[in-house]
Amino acid sequence: MENTFTYTARSALFPEKVVTFTLYDHHVSVAVGAPLEQVERALTGAEGEEAEAEAEVEETAQPAYALKPMGVSLLQKGTHPFSVADVDAQAGDGGLAVTTWVRAKGLRLMPLRFAWDEVDNPEGAERFAQEVRARKRGASYPGRFAGVMDYWASWLLLGGLVMALFWPRKRQEEEDEG
């Protein structure tokens, strides 16, 4: 592929926690690296003092992207390349935060956020964030609607509001006729 930029975000504290972002043209693909030890621990349950100490360290220093194994599986199966217009990347102070939006039927459904307090390559993270911003400027908007109407939650709220406004009237009219 032409015009490709790949950045692998790795936690400086837990190097096995990895996500690879690949930019190509106006798209971003995300590959989550789930360590097998973490999946095995979650499925079987960690035992012993060593596991308790390890779990305590993980709880305090876990990066924000840490997902349950089922979430990792759904992410890997259900995501396809994102439009770069639906990606926001911020780097600074040695960390990185990337937010991508999953779309359904052309509307934003759910954000996926990946964040690290410390990455092992902060200069690369900064270059990646700059590249996302540069490509975002040249990308067309992938949504059907602009602004707040680009979110499923807005449409559901609007539908609920319409139902709440008109449902009692219909019921009242039926009672008046009967």
Q: What is the pLDDT of residues 124-144, one digit of tens each?
A: 999 999 999 999 888 766 666
The chain-wide mean pLDDT, for the chain, equals 74
Highest mean pLDDT among 147-151, 152-156, 162-166: 162-166
Phi, psi of 65 (to 5 degrees): -85, -5
* Three-state DSSP state, 121: coil
pTM (2 d.p.): 0.64
**DSSP state, residue 26:** T
pLDDT at 51 over 70: no
pLDDT at 152 over 50: yes
pLDDT at 5 over 70: yes
Helix 69-78 to helix 36-44 angle, to the nearest 10 degrees? 130
pLDDT at 157 over 60: yes
* Three-state DSSP state, 105: coil
Residue, of 156 and 46, whose pLDDT is higher: 156
46 in Cβ contact with 52 (< 8 Å)? yes
Query: 123, 5, 13: which is closest to 66 by C-alpha?
Result: 13
**What does the alpha-carbon distance between residue 20 and residue 22 come to, in Å, rounded to a whole number?**
7
125 in Cβ contact with 119 (< 8 Å)? yes
